[in-house]
Amino acid sequence: MSRTTVAEAISRIPDPEIPVISIADLGILRDVSVDEDARTVVATITPTYSGCPAMEAIADRIRWEADAHGYRSEVVTQLSPAWTTDWMTAAGREALARFGIAPPGPSAEGGGPSRGPVSVQLQRHVVACPHCGSDDTTEIAHFGSTACKALRRCDACREPFDEFKAI
C-alpha cells in the first residue's frame, strides 16, 4: 500500500464526539510520518482540552487504521504548541455548520499575565445561528455538552444550538 493510503486513512478518521469532522480538519492531527521500509507510522496528535476524553478513542482508532494497513504504529501526544480552533480547516468549519454546530470565530489569543479584569457579560460576540443564519443569538451556558462547546439559543428561530468555542 502506498504512503498516501495509510496517511490518508488516518487523516480521515472522524472525531468520536462530532463524527462529521475528521481529526485532520479539526486540527488535532499534527503530523503523520510513514516509514515504508520499516512499515511504521508515527502519528502526532494534540488534545483540544487537557481532559478531553476522546483522545484515547482517537489514539486507538489510529492504531487500528495503521494495523489494518499493515503498519506498526506509534501515537505521540503533543501538548505544545497548544491546540487552537484557528487550526480548524475551512472544510471542517462548513461540516460543523451543516451539522448544526456554530463554528468557532477567530481565537482571541492573549496569554500574558493579568491583563486586568475580564469583562463580565453573557453575550460578547456575534454568533450566527447554524439553522436559520440569524445573528440574533444568545449564550445560554458557557459550557455545553462537551468542554469544547458552549450552548446558545437563536432568538429568531428559537432553536438551541451548540457553538464551538474559540480558544
Partner 1 sequence: MTEVAAQASPAAYVLGLADDAMVYAQRLAEWMSNAPQIEEDMALGNIALDLLGQARALYPHVGTLDGTGRSEDDFAMVRDERDWRNVHLVEQERGDFGQEMARLLWFATYQRELYAALLASSDPVLAGVAGKALKEVRYHLDHAALWVVRLGDGTEESHTRMQAALDSVLPYLPELFFDDEASVAAAESGIGVLPSSLHEAVTTHVAAVCQEATLDLHAPTWRARGGRAGIHSKPMGYLLAEMQHIARSHPGATW
Residues that bind partner 1 (CB under 8 A): 47, 49-53, 78-84, 110-114, 116-118, 120, 122, 140-147, 151, 165, 167
d(CA 153, CA 129): 8
If the CB atoms of residues 4 and 138 are measured against partner 1, the closer one turns out to be 138
160-164 and 149-154: which strand pairing?
antiparallel
Give the other-Cβ count within 10 Å of 101's Cβ: 21
Of residues 64, 62, 78, the one with CA closest to residue 23:
62
Number of H helices, E strands in the chain: 4, 7
If the CB atoms of residues 64 and 143 are measured against partner 1, the closer one turns out to be 143
CB of 86 to partner 1, least distance (A): 12
CB of 52 to partner 1, least distance (A): 7
Give the other-Cβ count within 10 Å of 98's Cβ: 10
Q: Give bridge partners of residue 31 from the DSSP assignment.
A: 44
CB of 9 to partner 1, least distance (A): 28
Neighbouring residues of 77: CB distance < 8 A, sequence distance ≥ 6: 44, 45, 46, 47, 55, 59
If the CB atoms of residues 51 and 70 are measured against partner 1, the closer one turns out to be 51
If the CB atoms of residues 68 and 141 are measured against partner 1, the closer one turns out to be 141
If the CB atoms of residues 91 and 141 are measured against partner 1, the closer one turns out to be 141
CB of 49 to partner 1, least distance (A): 6
d(CA 72, CA 67): 6
CB of 7 to partner 1, least distance (A): 25
**Would you mind telling me the total number of residues written for the chain in this entry?**
167
